[in-house]
Every structure is written in C-alpha cells, then in structure tokens.
Chains A and B, each alone.
Chain A
Amino acid sequence: QKEVEQNSGPLSVPEGAIASLNCTYSDRGSQSFFWYRQYSGKSPELIMSIYSNGDKEDGRFTAQLNKASQYVSLLIRDSQPSDSATYLCAVNIRPMNRDDKIIFGKGTRLHILP
C-alpha cells in the first residue's frame, strides 16, 4: 500500500512567521509531488507542484523535495490569517500508466494566529 504521511496538526503559527509543513512518502518511484490547500467546506486547490530535488518558489510559498529521504515540505513565508486551512500533500505514483493515480495524505491543519 503506497502511503503519504502528514502530521494532522493543528499547527499554530503567529501571523507574519514562517509556517513549515512536512510530508513523507513510501513509493521511491514517485516522480510528481503536489501541495493542495483546502478551506473548510471547499474542494482542494492546487498551490504548488515540484518534480526535482531542491526548492521551488512561488510568491510566499516554497516547496522542497528530497527524493533520497522521500520527504516533501511546504514553507509559507509571512503567514496571513487567510492561510489558515488544511494542507494536503499528494504524490503521483505510476504516471502515464493505466494505474496512474495521485495518493493524498490526510492533511495538516494550519492555524495562523492574528
């Protein structure tokens, strides 16, 4: 069973600080990695994609990937109350295959303290 593990939280971070969200995955063959944000009662929204080792930055968000350690992280700089949500880590296993699917972690609840 391929797995994606996240700490469920809640993770409380003061406004303006850096929020750090972590994720580990079990399938060494995974090639594509994603972070989604889900507000309460809404559907998940894709916020970051990362495919190679290292950092990828987009505005206040930075995704970090370490395939050797099977570890993905998301940093949110200058955290805002609007960042309060559940963040889902997702991993694409067997891409371009009949069994192509994305496996999701259960999510980390992030709470930004005003």
Chain B
Amino acid sequence: DGGITQSPKYLFRKEGQNVTLSCEQNLNHDAMYWYRQDPGQGLRLIYYSQIVNDFQKGDIAEGYSVSREKKESFPLTVTSAQKNPTAFYLCASKGFGNTRIDHYNEQFFGPGTRLTVL
C-alpha cells in the first residue's frame, strides 16, 4: 500500500526545545517537500529536496533544518530559533515524470503533523 506517512500526528513542544517531524514515502518519488500551513492561510514552502543529500531552502526556511540521507525519508527539525512554530506541517512528494502522461509530475501530501508550542 503506497503512500506518505508523517509522525507524530500531534506534537507539543515547550519553548526552547528542538523537535523533529518524520516524513516517509514508499512511492519511489525523487522529490520531497515540507510546507507549513497556518489557520486560514495558504501553504508556505519550508524546504525541498530533489535528490538524496541535496536540498533547497524554500520561502520560510529560517528556524528549520532538514536532511535527506535516504530517498524515502525527509525529516524536518523545528529549532528553538523558529519564533512562531505552532502550525500544521505537511510533507509532500513528487516523482519525476510518470509512465502515464496524464499524471505527469503529480505531487501528493502526507496526513500532516499539528505542532503546538506550550
């Protein structure tokens, strides 16, 4: 059963703590993405990675870090430097090309992690 998993579903963090959000996919996708969504707001790109051991900053990378040591995994660390981390965090993945031309470049999302700072 292919898909994208994120854990935990809910996460509570004390101020000053670093926390790591997990994202795993078994779709054999090359590209993976992290987004943040605040209530009533759109998706904002944090980091993305096209291949293993390489990643790019998105629009709001400050206070976050990532690694891409395996194709299947793209964990996100929310550091204490992130001033307002309470949000809904979404991981997504995308394959390069597709055997079906009418499903080219489609991106799929995991179920999300809701982070709350106490």
B12-20, B42-50, B64-72: which lies at the interface: B42-50
Task: Give chain A residues whose Cβ lies under 8 Å from the Cβ of B105.
Answer: 31-32, 49, 92, 95
Q: Choose among A32, A36, A99 the residue that contacts B56 (Cβ–Cβ < 8 A).
A: A99
**Please, which residues of chain A bring their CB within 8 A of the CB of B90?**
43-44
Question: Which of the four size classes fits the interface of chain A?
Answer: 20 to 34
Q: Are B107 and A43 in contact (CB under 8 A)?
A: no
CA distance A42 to B58 in the complex (A): 22
Residue of A nearest to B112 (CB): A43
Taking CB atoms and an 8 Å cut-off, the chain B residues in 16-64 that contact chain A are 31, 33, 41-43, 45, 48, 50, 54, 56, 58
Cβ contacts B87-118/A at 8 Å (1 or 0 each): 00010001011000111111111111000000
Contacts A43-B112, A96-B96, A101-B48 given; indicate if A88 touches B43 (C-beta within 8 A): yes
A53 to B: closest C-beta gap in Å: 14
**In the complex, A98 Cα to B51 Cα: how many Å?**
9
Contacts of B42 in A (CB 8 A): 88, 104-107
- The answer to whether A49 and B104 have CB atoms under 8 Å apart is yes
A101 touches which one: B41, B45, B104, B112 (CB < 8 A)? B45
Residues in chain A near residue B41, CB distance under 8 A: 106
Q: Is A17 among interface residues, defined by CB-CB distance under 8 A?
A: no
Contact B109 A43 (CB under 8 A): yes
* Shortest Cβ distance from residue A5 to the other chain B in the assembled complex, whole angstroms: 11
A49 partner, pick from B45, B106, B111, beta carbons under 8 A: B106
Closest B residue to A99 by CB, please name it.
B56
Q: Which residues of B contact A56 (CB under 8 A)?
A: 102
Q: Is the CB of A46 within 8 A of B56?
A: no
How far apart are the CA atoms of A49 and B101 in the complex, in Å? 11
List the 10 closest pairs (A to B, CB-CB), nearest first. Answer: A106-B42, A43-B109, A104-B43, A32-B105, A43-B112, A44-B109, A92-B105, A102-B107, A43-B111, A95-B105
